[in-house]
């Protein structure tokens, strides 16, 4: 099953490129092979549990580049970064695997997961069920679903498939309308992306505007534009269970030290 997108400029270009890439890869690697691989994959780690611990829970994101800023980290060793970020206190990891716009690679996700015990999320633009089977076959513990990039039928179908495979997806929204769609699909982990994927503009206020509308029985994750311990503390107080942080870590010489600083009050 392949979804359709009706979203705006930047997101449209990424999704269309992803659709072409997946179509090619499906011809090379049939879904039946991935299903066999998924059956032999390592057990799924508890992503929801990692996000609902006491204290500040950070999903540390391994991201080599971005469409808005270009290369973020020229020296990019996914395995070493993963191990260091786990040691620094990451509750979970997110690894970009989209090649064209983010210079990601599925091998980065594989390498990172081998080095850590925390759950690892595959961060990509999932537009086909084939990618979900691919994620599980390569030992991802969960994956991202972007509401703006999916039809409602696809969103519901992909959520169901993820749960069938033991993976609870992170469902990303940016507006009240997208939140309504996520809730209608029974999303259990909802990420509020402060970056508008159509324009790449960032407003941290988006998280605070939408958290009041997210039911208490859902896991809420704030994403993008988070730069300080105070940001994390305020979001936690507002009701978020976790935060996803990428560029703030990847642009620092020592990503682990940067994460440690985010997790501790400045006086410590």
CA atoms within 13 A on the CB side of 255: 28
Q: Compute the distance between CA of residue 151 and CA of residue 147 in angstroms, rounded to an integer.
A: 8
User: Do 50 and 92 contact (CB within 8 A), yes or no?
Assistant: yes
DSSP at 58: E
User: Do 93 and 85 contact (CB within 8 A), yes or no?
Assistant: yes
32-40 contacts at long range (C-beta below 8 A, 24 or more positions apart): 34/130, 34/133, 34/134, 34/136, 34/137, 35/133, 35/137, 36/137, 37/133, 37/136, 37/137, 37/138, 38/133, 38/136, 38/137, 38/165
Q: Compute the distance between CA of residue 20 and CA of residue 9 in angstroms, rounded to an integer.
A: 17
Residues noted as catalytic? 61, 63, 123, 172, 193, 223-224
Residue with tokens 């929801």: 48
Residue 81 parent element (H or E): helix 78-87
Checking DSSP bridges between strand 142-146 and strand 170-173, what pairing results, if any?
A: parallel
């Amino acid at each position: 099953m392949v979804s359709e997108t009706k979203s705006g400029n930047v997101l449209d270009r990424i999704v269309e490129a992803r659709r072409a890439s997946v179509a090619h890869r499906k011809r090379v690697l049939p879904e039946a092979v991935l299903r066999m691989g998924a059956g032999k994959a390592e057990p799924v780690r508890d992503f929801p549990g990692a996000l609902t611990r006491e204290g500040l829970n950070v999903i540390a994101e391994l991201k080599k580049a971005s469409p808005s800023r270009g290369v973020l980290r020229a020296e990019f060793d996914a395995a070493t970064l993963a191990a260091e970020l786990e040691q620094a206190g990451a509750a979970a990891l997110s690894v970009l695997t989209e090649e064209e716009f983010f210079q990601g690679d599925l091998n980065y996700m594989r390498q990172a997961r081998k080095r850590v015990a925390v759950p690892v999320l595959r961060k990509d633009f999932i537009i086909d069920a084939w990618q979900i089977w691919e994620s599980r076959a390569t030992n991802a513990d969960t994956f991202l679903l972007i509401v703006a990039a999916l039809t409602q039928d696809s969103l519901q179908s992909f959520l169901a498939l993820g749960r069938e495979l033991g993976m609870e997806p992170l469902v990303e929204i940016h507006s009240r309308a997208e939140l309504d769609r996520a809730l209608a699909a029974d999303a259990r982990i909802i990420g509020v992306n402060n970056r508008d994927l159509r324009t790449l503009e960032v407003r941290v206020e988006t998280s605070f505007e939408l958290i009041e509308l997210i039911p208490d029985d859902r896991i809420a994750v704030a994403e993008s534009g988070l730069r300080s311990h105070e940001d994390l503390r305020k979001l936690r107080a507002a009701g978020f269970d976790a935060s996803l942080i990428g560029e703030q870590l990847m642009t620092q010489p020592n990503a682990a030290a940067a994460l440690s600083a985010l997790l501790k009050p400045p006086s410590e």
